[in-house]
Structure 1
Amino acid sequence: MKYIYLSLMALCSTVLLPAQIIDRSKAPKPGPAPVINIADPASFTLPNGLKVFVVTNTKLPQVSATLTIDRDPLLEGEKAGMLSMAGSLMRRGTSKMDKATLDESVDFLGGELGASATSVSASSLKGNFPKLLQLMADVALRPSFSNAELEKIRTQTLSGLAQAKDDPNSIAGNVSGALVYGKNHPYGEFETEQTVKNVTVADIKSYHSTYWKPNIAYLIFVGDITSNEAMKLATEHFGSWTRGDVPKKQYAEVKQPAKTLIAVVDRPSSVQSVISISSPVNLQPGTPDAIPTSVMGNVLGGGFSSRLNQNLREKYAFTYGAGGGVSTDRLVGSFRASASVRNEKTDSAVGQFLYEFNRIRNEAASDSEVTALKNYMSGGFARSLENAATVANFALNVARYNLPKDYYRTYLTKLNAVTPANVQAMANKYVPVNNLVITIVGNAKEIAAGLSKYGDVKFFDINGNEVAPPTEKKVDANVTATSVLQKAIEAYGGETAIAAIKDATLKGSVSMMGQAMQYEQKHVMPGGYSAVVKMGPMELMKQSKNGSEYSAAMQGTKQEVSADDKAQLDAKAALYDERYYLSNAAVKLNLKGIESVDGKDAYDIEIVTPEGSSFHAFYDVKTGLKVQEMRQQEVGPMGKVNVTTLYKEYKEFNGVKIPVQIVIDLGVMKQDISITEVKINAGLSASEL
């Protein structure tokens, strides 16, 4: 059938083509850019200065509203984190109702209501919208700022910061921002535990009373609503809002570094490096350079077919993806590029980034390359117009950035006019090659040596403070790989206490990508083991070993158990895998040195299994406890990935220590395992595995 269909298409193309000779060696000449008919939204200004835009769209009986405060960027200083906490706190209750009542009211109306430090938005069916807008106005103008709710937000924020300390992407973002803009700039500061602890309700109230003023605000209605209906609602709910003077902020000009800096943040546990390249540029929204620069940025690093991705991913296989581009901003724009690469390819990857930066400056892009990007961008622009909210955002941008009124109507004309020469000119203007901050988070011992050819190499901690280069720590001559594992067994409770364990059951939870699952691990000594992950009644994963029988299943589907998998199950069945490694003469143990794990010294032990695969286990020099494990592992469709397991906390049960807080880092995602219940010698039998 497929052959018949294709044949019919070929026949039709032959019969229906006009009798003329077509030169297929030449691309057809592009026609003129289509004229985009974007209707101006209805607009009016309330006496208090609140500017209102209305985009009517009656396709669905739904209405949304967004209130935006257009203030200057703020430097939070010792209160960094206050702004994000302020937005969260505004949504947690008003002068009329607490958070629970507010949530119930929004749900009853079938609506959505959100808030940030500079905006509040709401959406519902048309019939319920007037009541929902009342709630939105209360959140925006009359938040309760409950101290109890602030403490909940603080706890959540501190928990997020604790995780960010282990996240190389977060570290790279913080350090790069601090070095490019400076810590005394709104774009260079970041939250820390101390700054979050410094925030008070009084700080948030002061911010709200100072900056939430109607004369710097925009209210946008989108959906099944007329201009008259919007005016009535805006006047009713926001007309009494009192205008006021709002402080203007000015900051020192951010300049590009005089020469390229290579900023290395040592993360010994990393098996790949996060490379973040950045430099400030002077490019405001809506300026003549903005559109040709966006084309240039897409050619360089805007997608799968971009030069950076084709080079670093497709040609050299350094990374799963590389990208970059130039961003506009009223205060200061930025040039950025980034990728995550294997440790051993870090210096080569930096070299290829710089090669592509130079190439786009020195070699004009081809006509086909630029045309393809312009077509892609034109299509995206046209598709965006299908959403009524796009028109509203266009109107907001025109007002906020003082753009010409026809800026978006003539967008395609300006885009179509971009030439390869324009692209090269923009690259020379906005792609620096000798004035970069190249921030790299990775294992300094493995990556630093090859970087000096690209610029001055300096070392920084996770807070962006310069530190001395890491030095290799010497291992005492009396310490061996065997003695490290023996010390670990003693730290767990000792051989006698461990040998007394006949069975053990560990229960807890696994959280991953916002999903919570149940976890259960069972041991029946000697050699019996099972681990199960469930979501409700559904079994997602199970692996087990019972004597000489091994099994594994994913969502009920039996999986192949390789020789390497069997070796891992043998080790897990020992409850403490160090006992298995020490008792198996075919396992080779190599002491590789001392590394830093979570700021503490740890012995790095390479463990080579009888099958020849190897991984690394790290043991705290002082306590003897295992704190980390690193290995390469097949993870479903992701293929071979680097897996880092962090043992964050141990607790004692029946005289032995068991890890109860475990983080498994798969690079692109993390699993958090929390053990909440442990039963030892409860009479578990092998049939229950």
Structure 2
Amino acid sequence: MMDVITKPDPGPSREYHFPSFDEETLPGGTRLVVAAAPKLPIITILVVFDAGAAEDPAGKEGIARLTARALSEGTSKWDGAELAEKFEQMGTSLDTGADWDSAIARVTVLPGNLAAALTLLGEVLADPAFPEREVERLKSERIAELLQLETEPRGLADERFPAFLYRESSRYARSQGGSAESVRSLTRSEIDAFYRSRYTAGRTTVIVAGDVKKADVRTLVTPLATALPRGSVARLHAADIPAPASRAIHLITKDGAPQSEIRVGHAGLPRKHPDFFPVLVMNAILGGLFGSRINLNLREKHGYTYGASSSYDWRRGAGPFEISTAVQSDVTAAALREIFAEVERMRSEEVTLEELSLATSYLEGVFPIRFETTSAIASALANLIIYDLPRSYYDEYRKEISRVTAATVLKAARDHIHPEELQTVIVGDTGQIREGLTSVGAGNISVAPAK
């Protein structure tokens, strides 16, 4: 007779402490944050600038992203290829980019190359040349990217969705990378002016994580900080006011498309909202995990899709709340009904203890393994700076998750998901799917071409 082995109950979670870090403000206003992690024999240097896409002037959308990408294209001393080779000789590469709230430059090196890497990085950040030829190449790449998105339903849905959530005057209503029109209008001199006004010492934070000592880092970083542009401009706050619209469906025509790309949502919440943790758990249950309600419904129960999810795009302003999936054209209306039903169910009744435990256990369990590299530690520290979070945020994270209850999840859903405001964008074969959508009850239906 075979012995039956009973699976043991899990023990209590081990206490977690985020790596300790020190911070100070250097002469000129640059912030320095140092996280010593001697068990990791490498060092990540992450320079964060208050120069994200929310800073794009009206009509110049895309300038933040283009400026960040152009940083690595050369200085007055080295061209882009020479810079890349010099970083390669140190066993690393320079990564630059921008999102909605910041621009970054990042390198990861062995401790013996720290001084050389900071010197070269300082040249890149203090003396970018923005060569005309490379600026035009980067502009052409963005315009080509947009042309490609027009042919690909998933990218097209993602690109067009925000315009239906926010007022036309909002920066959030337009793509982070800019439109073909706005990018085409950008000039080298405008990029240089954006750099000189936003990449200043007072808008910069240098984060160093790894096998380092603070005193050594301060000595090495000070020349970089001193060489940055001076001056300051007031931070632009992205207008995140929702579009004054009732529930509606917006069809974007892709004749002959076998699938419908579906996006449903409305303007969400800013990152520093006091309900962040209840909303995080609520979204995990609704559509943030593989075992979430929306995915289990559309994928497992009905077989409409390979995957469906929901998410909040956390920004300084209220980024989008979005439900996303792709289904066969003939079940578009049925899938949309199930999405709305799950939204209503989330707002009408408490989640089960099993659902709550699954979500909180996952969020608590994966949290510590997110910070096992110097790059991850540096990125986490950047988030503290960008979103002005408390120093204790990472040490308190799992406690905050554990405090969320079924009642607070229900309150979060009722307070922050608004069925009457949901905008639905569907990229697909309008002729095949439109008639079925009239009975869904998702609002007025409008049709637009892909271009």
191, 194, 216: which is aligned to 2:181?
194
188, 193, 198: which is aligned to 1:211?
198
30, 34, 43: which is aligned to 1:54?
34
Give, in whole Å, the separation in 2 of the partners of 1:45 and 1:29.
44
Tell me the equivalent position of 1:83. 64
Identity of aligned residues (%): 26
Bigger mean CA deviation after superposition, 85-94 or 388-397 = 388-397
Give, in whole Å, the separation in 2 of the partners of 1:254 and 1:242.
33
CA drift of 1:308 comes to 0.4
1:299 and 1:307 in contact (8 A); partners too: yes
CA drift of 1:243 comes to 3.1
1:69 and 1:218 in contact (8 A); partners too: yes
1:254 matches 2:238: no
20, 24, 27: which is aligned to 1:44?
24
CA drift of 1:170 comes to 2.0
CA gap of 1:258–1:313, structure 2 versus 1, over 3 A, is same
Deviation digits for residues 397-447 of structure 1 (CA, Å, limit 9, x no counterpart): 333333333222121111111111111111111222121110000011011
Written as runs of structure 1 = structure 2, the 5 A alignment for 1:27-38 is 35-38=15-18
Give, in whole Å, the separation in 2 of the partners of 1:168 and 1:183.
23
Give, in whole Å, the separation in 1 of the partners of 2:226 and 2:180.
40
* Structure number with bigger Rg: 1
Tell me the equivalent position of 1:95. 76
SS at match of 2:363: helix
- Write the letter of the residue equivalent to 2:66: M
CA drift of 1:287 comes to 3.6
1:92 and 1:149 in contact (8 A); partners too: yes
1:461 matches 2:438: no
Tell me the equivalent position of 1:146. 131
1:290 and 1:328 in contact (8 A); partners too: no
1:326 and 1:333 in contact (8 A); partners too: yes
CA gap of 1:30–1:293, structure 2 versus 1, over 3 A, is farther
113, 127, 130: which is aligned to 1:128?
113
Give, in whole Å, the separation in 2 of the partners of 1:385 and 1:405.
16
174, 197, 213: which is aligned to 1:226?
213
Written as runs of structure 1 = structure 2, the 5 A alignment for 1:63-82 is 63-71=43-51, 73-82=54-63
Give, in whole Å, the separation in 1 of the partners of 2:356 and 2:434.
37
SS at match of 1:262: strand
CA drift of 1:160 comes to 1.8
Give, in whole Å, the separation in 2 of the partners of 1:134 and 1:89.
19
CA gap of 1:252–1:302, structure 2 versus 1, over 3 A, is closer
Give, in whole Å, the separation in 2 of the partners of 1:319 and 1:386.
34
Give, in whole Å, the separation in 2 of the partners of 1:53 and 1:200.
34
1:419 matches 2:405: yes
Tell me the equivalent position of 1:377. 363
Give, in whole Å, the separation in 2 of the partners of 1:326 and 1:382.
21
CA drift of 1:250 comes to 3.8
Number of residue-to-residue matches in the alignment: 442
CA gap of 1:215–1:148, structure 2 versus 1, over 3 A, is same
CA drift of 1:220 comes to 0.4
SS at match of 1:408: helix
256, 266, 284: which is aligned to 1:269?
256
More strand per residue? 1
2:172 and 2:240 in contact (8 A); partners too: no
Tell me the equivalent position of 2:353. 367
- Write the letter of the residue equivalent to 1:102: L
CA gap of 1:447–1:359, structure 2 versus 1, over 3 A, is same
1:213 and 1:246 in contact (8 A); partners too: no
CA drift of 1:288 comes to 3.1
Give, in whole Å, the separation in 2 of the partners of 1:253 and 1:131.
42
- Write the letter of the residue equivalent to 1:62: I
SS at match of 2:151: coil
CA drift of 1:390 comes to 4.2
CA gap of 1:412–1:393, structure 2 versus 1, over 3 A, is same
Give, in whole Å, the separation in 1 of the partners of 2:239 and 2:81.
44
Give, in whole Å, the separation in 2 of the partners of 1:76 and 1:320.
40
- Write the letter of the residue equivalent to 2:192: K
SS at match of 2:147: helix
CA gap of 1:394–1:164, structure 2 versus 1, over 3 A, is closer
SS at match of 2:419: coil
SS at match of 2:446: strand
Give, in whole Å, the separation in 2 of the partners of 1:272 and 1:253.
31
CA drift of 1:257 comes to 4.3
- Write the letter of the residue equivalent to 2:21: P
Tell me the equivalent position of 1:179. 164
- Write the letter of the residue equivalent to 1:434: E
1:265 and 1:442 in contact (8 A); partners too: yes
2:28 and 2:202 in contact (8 A); partners too: yes
1:441 matches 2:427: yes
SS at match of 1:285: coil
Give, in whole Å, the separation in 1 of the partners of 2:96 and 2:150.
27
326, 330, 343: which is aligned to 1:357?
343
Root mean square deviation, CA, Å: 2.4
1:41 and 1:392 in contact (8 A); partners too: no
Tell me the equivalent position of 1:295. 281
Give, in whole Å, the separation in 1 of the partners of 2:281 and 2:146.
36
Tell me the equivalent position of 1:399. 385
TM-score for both structures, normalised by structure 2: 0.91
1:335 and 1:430 in contact (8 A); partners too: no
Tell me the equivalent position of 1:659. none
CA gap of 1:153–1:246, structure 2 versus 1, over 3 A, is same
67, 70, 92: which is aligned to 1:111?
92
Give, in whole Å, the separation in 1 of the partners of 2:245 and 2:19.
47
223, 227, 251: which is aligned to 1:236?
223
- Write the letter of the residue equivalent to 1:440: I
SS at match of 1:120: strand
CA gap of 1:317–1:76, structure 2 versus 1, over 3 A, is farther
CA drift of 1:375 comes to 0.7
Q: Which runs of 5+ in 1 are unaligned?
A: 15-23, 464-689
242, 245, 249: which is aligned to 2:232?
245
SS at match of 2:394: coil
Deviation digits for residues 54-104 of structure 1 (CA, Å, limit 9, x no counterpart): 111223432110110124612444333332222221111111101121121
CA drift of 1:106 comes to 1.3
2:40 and 2:374 in contact (8 A); partners too: no
Give, in whole Å, the separation in 1 of the partners of 2:50 and 2:238.
17
Q: Which runs of 5+ in 2 are unaligned?
A: none
Give, in whole Å, the separation in 2 of the partners of 1:327 and 1:263.
21
Bigger mean CA deviation after superposition, 182-191 or 124-133 = 182-191
CA gap of 1:369–1:219, structure 2 versus 1, over 3 A, is same
Q: Which one scores higher on RCO, CA 8 angstroms, separation ≥ 6?
A: 2
165, 170, 180: which is aligned to 2:150?
165
